[in-house]
Amino acid sequence: MRKTLSLLLVSVLFLCWLTAAAEDNGILGHPFPDFTVQDVDGNTFTLSEALKDHEAVLISLWSTRCPLCRLESPFLNEAYEQYGDRAAFISLFTEPDDTPETIREFRRSLGLSLPMGRDEDMALYGLIASGSTVPASVAVDRFGNAVFFHNTFFKSTREVTSVLDAILGEDYSETVVLDGIPAPKSTAVFPVSSARGIFVENRDAKQIFFRSEAPAYRLEAYVVNDDTAHLRMEIPASDDPYGMVLYHANADYVYELAALLDPDRDSFVIDIPMPRAEDEIRIADVCLYEFPDPDSPDSLHVCLIPSEDCLDELCETLLPRGWVLSEGGADESAAQDAPQAYILHVVDQYGAPVPGVMANFCTDTSCTVAFSDENGTITFDGTPDVYHVQLLKVPDGYSFDAGFDMYTGSTYGEWVLHIAKG
């Protein structure tokens, strides 16, 4: 059980340093120095040569001991597999202990295909990220100029590809420095609720709480006897699904909440494997927070306990220290906060409300037009039914994907609808 409590402490400490300050060290908008490295497969990588065959280069600085590097590795790898013919990728390891052998093992253990090598004498680290931590990434455009600097980890493949999309293609005719990861411009709709929540949908799962008075703290947990915990996440309309993160501590994996949307269920869902009886760490630990602030008071930290025996062990450790155990029940406030209409909050990619959007709510027999008000909210209080919702018109300066539509459920609900400005 000491291992289990250590995991909880490590998780909290780990989340506390996810934030990193982004300083470009004066490289943005200027030619990036040419360099040559040998990758761990024996191939020579030269920046100027890579730009002869590619429209851009994405350079990542990593360490084999860096947990954040592991978090972003699948996203960079997927982007490499999608864009490798148009953009060159190279991941360079910065520490003396990062030998070709340890780098190859790092790549093998994570199932990666990214080209990898060593940043000899930390030459590029000194140029790109001196004084900060890894991971760090820089994008170089077709003209050889550094146009993007990222001094933390990518939290989704979408973030990586959105950077590349901004500097690839025939329309990119001059250097443009990116001041951050471009906001998504695609039309999308996400379910929202009255508050943030993580719910376990396993039939026999039991919700419990550990509470401490000094210091005041509440630890939410579920006892899940199944091999897999089926999780559903809820967020309020004020949260941006692209900015919300679900962190699974046991698997060292981050999920951008928007990527967990199941359109068929109109919910954010994920399956989390439960620890096995023989595992040293016997609690599955997840946290839902607004990136990059895991310490926000609104962040949710939930533990998944695989058995009553494990719960008993945890009680033996915590209760003598003044913690109190209580069993959770149905959230009565949820029914009170349930929407009394079909509500769409229309926002642009920056989160600003968009008034004057026209939408059609249709059944098989009739259609009703509704408009977003000055707060960007469309409210339709027709008889509960399954409505086919289509966008008809948006104000000048905005756009939406042709053919976008959605279906409501047969009960009232609430969503955030993203359209593009510009």
pLDDT tens, position by position, 179-228: 999 999 999 999 999 999 999 999 999 999 999 887 788 889 999 999 99
Average pLDDT, whole number, for the chain?
Answer: 90
Query: Of all helices (H) and strands (E), which one includes residue 297?
Result: none
Residue 18 has pLDDT above 50, yes or no: no
Return the residue matching tokens 């003209």.
143
Rounded to whole angstroms, the Cα distance separating 62 from 135 reads 5
**Model confidence over 71-97: pLDDT tens digits?**
999 999 999 999 999 999 999 999 999
* Sign of the dihedral defined by the CA atoms of residues 32, 38, 42, 44, in that order: positive
Residue 333 has pLDDT above 60, yes or no: no
Q: Look up residue 413 and give its two tokens.
A: 């609900």
Query: CA neighbours within 13 Å on the CB side: how many for 336?
Result: 4
pLDDT in tens, 339-367: 999 999 999 999 999 999 999 999 999 99
Domains of the chain, by residue range, sit at 29-167, 197-335, 339-421
DSSP conformation letters of 356-374: S-EEEEE-SS-EEEEE--T
Residue 84, pLDDT score: 95
pLDDT tens for 103-153 read: 999 999 999 999 999 999 889 988 887 666 799 999 999 999 999 999 989
Q: Does residue 9 surpass a pLDDT of 80? A: no
Q: What are phi and psi of 358, to 5 degrees?
A: -105, 130
Cβ-proximal residues to 299 (8 Å cutoff; 6+ apart), any chain:
287, 288, 289, 290, 293
Cα distance between residue 146 and residue 30, in whole Å:
6
Arch. (CATH architecture) of 29-167? 3-Layer(aba) Sandwich (3.40)
Q: Is the pLDDT of residue 262 over 70?
A: yes
Average pLDDT over residues 38-66: 97
Share of the chain above pLDDT 70, in %: 91
Report pLDDT for 13.
36
CA gap 65, 67 in Å, rounded: 6
CATH architecture of the domain with range 339-421: Sandwich (2.60)
Max Cα distance, the chain (Å): 71
Query: What pLDDT was estimated at residue 24?
Result: 60
What are all long-range contacts of 327-330, with beta carbons under 8 Å and residues at least 24 apart?
327/206, 327/207, 327/208, 327/209, 328/206, 328/207, 328/208, 328/209, 328/220, 329/207
- Work out the percent of the chain whose per-residue pLDDT is above 90: 77
